[in-house]
Amino acid sequence: MTNVNAASTEAHWLSGLATSMQDEHDYAPQVEGAIPPGLTGTLFRNGPGRFELGGVRKKHLLDGDGMIQAFDLDASHVRYRNRYVRTEKYIAEEAAGKLIFPTWTTRSPRGLLSNVGNRIKSQAGVTAVVKNNMLYAFDEVGLPYGLDPDTLQTLGQQAVGEPTARVDYKAHTKTDGHTGGWILLGVTYGRSMHLHIAEHNALGSLRFSQRVPAPRSAYFHDWFATQHYIVVSLQPVQPSFARFLTGLDSFTDSMRWRPDKGNLLMVIDRNAVQPPVIIPAPPTFMWHALNAYEIGNSIVADFVGYDAPDHFLGEHAAFRAIMDGRGGDQNYSGTLRRYIINLSQRSAVEEIVSSENHEFPMIAPERGCTPHRYGYFTTARGPTVFHNGLARVDMNTGAREVFHMGDKAHLGEPIFVPDPKAQDAEQGWLLSVGLDGATGRSFLAILRADRIADGPIAVLRLRHPTPLSFHGWWKGQGHA
């Protein structure tokens, strides 16, 4: 069954989110309103930018080559740039003038033998992270690629974590708001799945790493970190490595949603003093975590969860259908949920904080791994994964403040930028890259974080549409 709502019935305009950008730009966009005086720095966005080459089009929204977008902002000057990450895959296919390698869902067009084994290469097109003056572009394959944050020049794959480990690092990393430590998590597959945790100090040096066997193989995208623990939800999305490695299925098509298996919450000591604890939980699919923290001997972990991932997996999934300008299956809302994990009793309870539709959770950066009150999200009315609003939610009460752009608009992940002049870490702005379906052009909206309902205080209008960008990072002026 395909969900029918305002977003899906108007889905034809959403095809702009899956339209390739042929050119790399550098220009000053039109500004409506005024850039706040304290908002000085660069917003980096990362996401798929190219979906076809040599007459072959990718089959899934996750399959495009990574493209960094940069918005340079201050009160008197704005600048927009975009540049593809020159991955090994991108360079080889550019030279050949056609697609060569398989990606998550699109198999290599060169035949069965070209799809045997794991031939997927990094597209570096999911997250952007700036650490110690290096812009990292993460995928979920291998190491991240590095770029110069000033020029966007690709600097090649970057060694993070244990230098001898061959690990597929997850696209999401965590920054400890108290220590400034940068935590990465990767996986290796084989007869069993292992988790690899690497923590760097604030200056970038590797502080500690560990390799932990998982109780089962599962696909997950994001995870939690607190002051003392890593929490991984091994949700019941199980790949068939036999079908994938023999070339019969793409990696995505090999996955099955198995709610009868439930979730397993794997709680790992960040310093490896205590052995991991495995705690069962109800079946829930999660793309993104908001944050987690400790209260006594319990962990509170907030996230966006789905009863089933029909928008991601299946022949009619929305992420597949959008490639043809259709709405596709998206029957389950991403609701705000909370795990309360009791380590003494080795038990977990899942609660619903808000049953409204949300995604792309964000907190004030200083709250990472520590208690938070507010979460910032994209939102929409009804069960769609293509959102047209932003929400601020009080995670203690569930109270929401919301702004909607209208049924023919799309808004992406809200990046929180603290106001450098404010004493409260929750004072600042939200930056969201969106698509105006009426004009077919993209924009950057700037809103006050504590007054979302007022709408944008400034909008930067681009000259063209931009594909859906997944995640971003704010680099303030003078910050490495």
* Bind-site residues: 172, 221, 288, 471
Helix (H, G, I), strand (E, B) or coil at 166: coil
* Lookup: tokens for 426: 């929750």
Cβ atoms within 10 Å of 98's Cβ, excluding its own: 13
**Cα(376)–Cα(452) distance, integer angstroms:** 10
Burial (CB count <10 Å: 0-12, 13-18, 19+), residue 297:
exposed
Q: What is the CA radius of gyration of the chain?
A: 21
Q: Which of 344, 139, 114 is nearest to 221 (CA)?
A: 139
Q: How many residues does the chain have?
A: 480
**Cα(372)–Cα(426) distance, integer angstroms:** 9
CB 191 within 8 A of CB 141: no
* Lookup: tokens for 375: 């979460």
Q: Which of 334, 292, 330, 332 is nearest to 311 (CA)?
A: 330
Q: Which of 135, 25, 130 is nearest to 85 (CA)?
A: 135
Cβ atoms within 10 Å of 295's Cβ, excluding its own: 10
Alpha helix stretches (DSSP H) within 60-171? 88-96
Q: Report CA torsion sign: 270, 271, 272, 277.
A: negative
What are the binding residues for Fe cation?
A: 172, 221, 288, 471
